[in-house]
């Protein structure tokens, strides 16, 4: 941590407003006989290391609350070790957090909704971060997931917005938040301060080579995703509004400069997208980097990594330099998620006699990971910081008790290991829960839609992206809350949309991008699964709706024999589809109506809670009732060569138990280094 400096005569004028004339005299006296007027040190240089955490998602511990087991691959307790190491390495550091900190684990839900943390106590995430001492942060979209009164409480008060007691004083985050592009509708002012100015003292190297201490003002400004207005509409509509990151930066960065900020660090809870700029764009980093006066940019939200030329996929848009770690010349980082990386921007600074100037070309950025390979090729992990875990131990144990609460039982292994090839075993119960929930609501409260059939879609949220353990996998036996959270990974809320039969076909065509186009004539091996994320592979799981996916056809022409109640789908017939807030509001790439315009009900309830509730009401879960309804299969095709895919290691018995007799195990180790096996699928069967 840098210490505040009040002892630099050339800088005193900046402090007068804060300390007043008497204090100024005292400061001058305290500075004694120094004849250092700052300008004597012109030419001094220093490195300021900006350290970034982002998208921690309440992963204080390296612990999986779904599996009730340690997972060393993430957790702030290990990032903390990297922070301490960086502070030893660099004389001058600034630690910032980029948001999406307070949501994402069962512990987060526990402290927000199950046993709400009292006003006098810090959230466990903030408490853990406090052990390291953050200098500043911003808010991600997920900070809004529990509503504004809760956010007001955990930030310590001060949100002057309708429905919130802004005067409530609570424990708070422990570090200043800056957010420039979300405004209170009540005050027309930023919901939290748009920026903060940190006054610190840098240890610098004088032109004569001697160490010299010089003051610096670092301006920190934050931006979040305008998508909050859709995703948390029920909490935010009419209460706050957003502005584009570029518009907010154009307004406030000059203000920061005018107030004497030597350096401006932008905390963007967003990443990079090569699309043309719009004020509602989710990932405007390429555009924000071009706003004059921004010296460094800390990114996130996409849970990706920058700089990292070897990442798959790596950012490759025009203006991105993965080697230098710059975006349009601005040093930048994106430190993965869940504490897996620490971003480090080394800002090279020069003292011109009265202020610091950033030498951007001499600056650089890098990521430091908690996980790496040693010389022997084995995965090794940074050790956890000794102080962090014990700080939250009581709450950690309480969250474990919460997620272990039994709510039912299952007679089959509910997994997404083979969801990509037709096993509905972990998805059907989600669809059943969503369907029942929406149908009941329509009957009670939306009579104008009572005549429409209600169907549901969901997707295999965990489908191997992170490796062989990244699948929903619920064992036979008792079902507890942690299992329900495994069945529904995200803290989404249920939304109902009105579409017609034609929309359903197009929706499914978009979801079928999950597959590469298979050439039946090709004799060499072809990989079935594309890079289109599994969580976007929406599917129905009901005998009422049937379709085939023809992977030999190009994207857009794959859905065959779509039928409702045994008859070809009438493109004009209307339906209500239960889905989630993300799909309903930002699913325009599926069908136009998923831009929010098709929504007939934005429910306040989390899909996960709806699933938990459904299991509570239907506690005896069976394959026959809850895991065997296949709405779709692959259209039959004879291929000259093998069609292959990866899934969890040695899990063929799971496919067989699901009745997928066309799946075979080809190699126990598929060679990807992710703990997955290679499977074949015979599309002719
Ligand atoms: Mn996030
Ligand atoms: Mg985010």
Domain boundary among 396, 415, 431: 396
Between the CA of 358 and the centroid of ligand 1 the distance, in Å, is 30
pLDDT at 37: 55
Could you tell me if 328 and 256 lie in one domain?
A: yes
pLDDT at 604: 66
Between the CA of 141 and the centroid of ligand 1 the distance, in Å, is 7
The total of other beta-carbon atoms located within 10 Å of residue 504's CB is: 24
Residues 90/342, Cβ–Cβ less than 8 Å: no
b/e map 487-496, b = 16+ CB within 10 Å: bbbebbbbbb
Closest by Cα among 499, 507, 496, 498 to 605: 496
Between the CA of 491 and the centroid of ligand 1 the distance, in Å, is 12
Between the CA of 673 and the centroid of ligand 1 the distance, in Å, is 25
Determine phi and psi for 314, rounding to 5 degrees: -90, 155
Residues 126/154, Cβ–Cβ less than 8 Å: yes
Cα distances (Å, whole numbers) of residue 608 to 34, 206, 559: 64, 58, 29
Could you tell me if 282 and 224 lie in one domain?
A: yes
Could you tell me if 448 and 548 lie in one domain?
A: yes
Between the CA of 49 and the centroid of ligand 1 the distance, in Å, is 23
CA angle 416, 422, 427 (to 5 degrees): 45
Residues 600/449, Cβ–Cβ less than 8 Å: yes
Domain boundary among 376, 396, 416: 396
Distance CA 497, CA 457 (A): 11
Residues 151/423, Cβ–Cβ less than 8 Å: no
Quote the number of domains for the chain: 2
pLDDT at 35: 41
Ligand nearest to the Cα of 228, by number? 2
Look at residue 662 and tell me if it is in a domain.
no
Closest by Cα among 130, 143, 96 to 264: 96
Ligand nearest to the Cα of 225, by number? 2
Could you tell me if 287 and 429 lie in one domain?
A: no
Q: Which of left, alpha, beta for 466 (phi over 0: left; psi -120 to 50: alpha)? A: alpha
Look at residue 388 and tell me if it is in a domain.
yes
Between the CA of 212 and the centroid of ligand 1 the distance, in Å, is 40
Ligand nearest to the Cα of 140, by number? 2
Ligand nearest to the Cα of 56, by number? 1
The total of other beta-carbon atoms located within 10 Å of residue 440's CB is: 11
Instruction: State both tokens at 517.
Output: 């186009």
Could you tell me if 318 and 429 lie in one domain?
A: no
Ligand nearest to the Cα of 335, by number? 1
Between the CA of 121 and the centroid of ligand 2 the distance, in Å, is 25
pLDDT at 31: 38
- CA dihedral for 586, 590, 591, 592, sign (positive or negative): positive
Instruction: Please name every residue paired with 380 in a beta bridge, in sequence order, or none if there are none.
Output: 372
Between the CA of 627 and the centroid of ligand 1 the distance, in Å, is 31
Could you tell me if 137 and 89 lie in one domain?
A: yes
Between the CA of 337 and the centroid of ligand 1 the distance, in Å, is 7
Could you tell me if 420 and 314 lie in one domain?
A: no
The CATH code of the domain that includes 436 is: 3.90.780.10
Instruction: State both tokens at 348.
Output: 């090279």
| Chain center to CA of 484 | 20
Give the gyration radius of the chain's Cα atoms: 27
Domain assignment of residue 89, given as a range? 33-396
Could you tell me if 348 and 443 lie in one domain?
A: no
Distance CA 379, CA 375 (A): 10
Could you tell me if 412 and 392 lie in one domain?
A: no
The CATH code of the domain that includes 304 is: 3.60.21.10
Between the CA of 282 and the centroid of ligand 1 the distance, in Å, is 12
Instruction: State both tokens at 355.
Output: 């202020």
Look at residue 152 and tell me if it is in a domain.
yes
Look at residue 227 and tell me if it is in a domain.
yes
Closest by Cα among 656, 241, 220 to 418: 656
Ligand nearest to the Cα of 303, by number? 1
Look at residue 685 and tell me if it is in a domain.
no
Between the CA of 537 and the centroid of ligand 2 the distance, in Å, is 21
Distance CA 670, CA 470 (A): 16
Q: Is 255 exposed, middle or buried, given 0-12, 13-18 or 19+ CB atoms closer than 10 A?
A: middle
Instruction: State both tokens at 38.
Output: 């700052």
Between the CA of 459 and the centroid of ligand 2 the distance, in Å, is 20
Look at residue 2 and tell me if it is in a domain.
no
Domain boundary among 396, 415, 430: 396
Cα distances (Å, whole numbers) of residue 359 to 44, 47, 89, 295: 12, 10, 20, 9
Query: What is the per-residue pLDDT across 58-112, written as a single tens digit (0 to 9) for each?
Result: 999 999 887 789 999 999 999 999 999 999 999 999 999 999 999 989 999 999 9
Distance CA 285, CA 75 (A): 26
Number of H helices, E strands in the chain: 18, 37
Taking the chain, what is the end-to-end CA distance rounded to the nearest angstrom? Answer: 64
Determine phi and psi for 312, rounding to 5 degrees: -120, 115
Between the CA of 77 and the centroid of ligand 1 the distance, in Å, is 18
Could you tell me if 331 and 416 lie in one domain?
A: no
Could you tell me if 76 and 117 lie in one domain?
A: yes
| Chain center to CA of 131 | 23
Q: Identify the three-state secondary structure at position 455.
A: strand
Between the CA of 55 and the centroid of ligand 1 the distance, in Å, is 4
Look at residue 656 and tell me if it is in a domain.
no
pLDDT at 38: 65
Between the CA of 58 and the centroid of ligand 1 the distance, in Å, is 10
Closest by Cα among 212, 256, 192 to 40: 212
Could you tell me if 109 and 43 lie in one domain?
A: yes
Between the CA of 104 and the centroid of ligand 2 the distance, in Å, is 11
Ligand nearest to the Cα of 283, by number? 2
Residues 472/461, Cβ–Cβ less than 8 Å: yes
Between the CA of 271 and the centroid of ligand 1 the distance, in Å, is 11
Which ranges of the chain have pLDDT less than 50? 1-35
Q: Identify the three-state secondary structure at position 473.
A: strand
Look at residue 7 and tell me if it is in a domain.
no
């Amino acid at each position: 941590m840098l210490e505040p400096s009040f002892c630099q005569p050339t800088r005193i004028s900046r402090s007068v407003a804060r300390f007043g004339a008497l204090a100024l005299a005292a400061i001058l006296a305290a500075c004694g006989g120094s004849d250092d007027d700052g300008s004597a040190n012109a030419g001094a240089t220093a490195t300021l290391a900006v350290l970034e955490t982002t998208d921690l998602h309440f992963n204080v511990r390296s612990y999986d609350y779904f599996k009730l087991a340690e997972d060393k691959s993430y957790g702030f307790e290990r990032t903390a070790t990297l922070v301490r190491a960086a502070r030893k390495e660099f004389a001058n550091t600034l630690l910032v957090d980029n948001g999406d900190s307070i949501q994402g684990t069962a512990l987060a839900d526990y402290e927000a909704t199950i046993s709400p943390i009292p006003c006098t106590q810090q959230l466990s995430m903030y408490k853990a971060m406090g052990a390291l001492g953050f200098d500043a942060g911003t808010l991600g979209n997920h900070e809004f997931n529990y509503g504004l009164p809760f956010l007001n409480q955990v930030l310590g008060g001060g949100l002057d917005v309708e429905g919130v007691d802004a005067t409530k004083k609570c424990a708070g985050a422990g570090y200043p938040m800056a957010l420039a592009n979300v405004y209170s509708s009540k005050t027309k002012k930023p919901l939290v301060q748009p920026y903060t100015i940190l006054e610190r003292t840098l240890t610098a190297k004088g032109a004569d080579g001697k160490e010299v201490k010089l003051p610096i003002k670092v301006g920190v400004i934050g931006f979040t995703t305008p998508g909050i207005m859709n995703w948390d509409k029920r909490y935010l509509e009419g209460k706050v509004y957003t502005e584009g990151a570029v518009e907010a930066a154009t307004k406030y960065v000059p203000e920061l400069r005018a107030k004497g900020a030597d350096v401006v660090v932008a905390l963007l809870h967003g990443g990079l997208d090569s699309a043309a700029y719009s004020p509602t764009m989710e990932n405007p980093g390429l555009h924000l980097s071009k706003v004059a006066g921004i010296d460094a940019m800390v990114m996130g939200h996409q849970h990706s990594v920058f700089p990292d030329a070897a990442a798959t996929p790596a950012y490759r848009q025009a203006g991105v330099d993965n080697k230098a770690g710059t975006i349009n010349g601005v040093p930048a980082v994106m430190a993965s998620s869940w504490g897996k990386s620490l971003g480090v921007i080394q800002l090279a600074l020069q003292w011109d006699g009265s202020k610091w100037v950033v030498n951007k070309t001499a600056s650089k950025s890098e990521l430091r990971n908690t996980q790496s390979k040693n010389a022997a090729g084995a995965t090794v992990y940074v050790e956890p910081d000794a102080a962090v875990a014990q700080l939250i131990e009581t709450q950690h144990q309480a969250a474990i008790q919460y997620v272990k609460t039994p709510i039912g039982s299952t007679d089959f292994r509910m997994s997404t290991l083979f969801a990509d090839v037709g096993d509905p075993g972990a998805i059907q119960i989600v669809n059943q829960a969503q369907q029942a929930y929406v149908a009941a609501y329509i009957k009670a409260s939306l009579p104008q839609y009572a005549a429409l059939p209600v169907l549901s879609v969901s997707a295999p949220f965990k489908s191997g992206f992170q490796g062989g353990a990244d699948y929903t996998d619920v064992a036979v036996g008792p079902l507890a809350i942690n299992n329900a959270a495994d069945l529904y990974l995200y803290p989404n809320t249920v939304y109902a949309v009105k579409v017609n039969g034609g929309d359903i076909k197009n929706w499914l065509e978009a979801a079928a991008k999950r597959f590469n186009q298979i050439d039946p004539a090709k004799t060499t091996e072809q990989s079935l699964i594309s890079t289109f994320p599994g969580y976007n592979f929406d599917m129905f799981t009901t005998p009422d709706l049937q379709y085939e996916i023809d992977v030999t056809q190009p994207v857009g022409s794959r859905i065959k024999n779509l039928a409702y109640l045994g008859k070809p789908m009438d493109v004009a017939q209307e339906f209500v589809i239960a889905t989630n807030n993300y799909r309903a509001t930002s699913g325009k790439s599926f069908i136009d109506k998923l831009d929010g315009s098709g929504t007939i009900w934005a429910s306040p309830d989390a899909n996960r809670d709806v699933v938990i509730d459904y299991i509570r009401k239907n506690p005896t879960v069976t394959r026959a009732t809850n895991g065997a309804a296949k709405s779709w299969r692959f259209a039959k095709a004879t291929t000259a060569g093998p069609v292959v895919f990866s899934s969890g290691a040695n899990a063929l018995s799971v496919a067989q138990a699901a009745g997928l007799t066309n799946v075979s195990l080809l190699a126990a180790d598929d060679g990807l280094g992710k703990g997955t096996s290679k499977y074949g699928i015979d599309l002719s069967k």
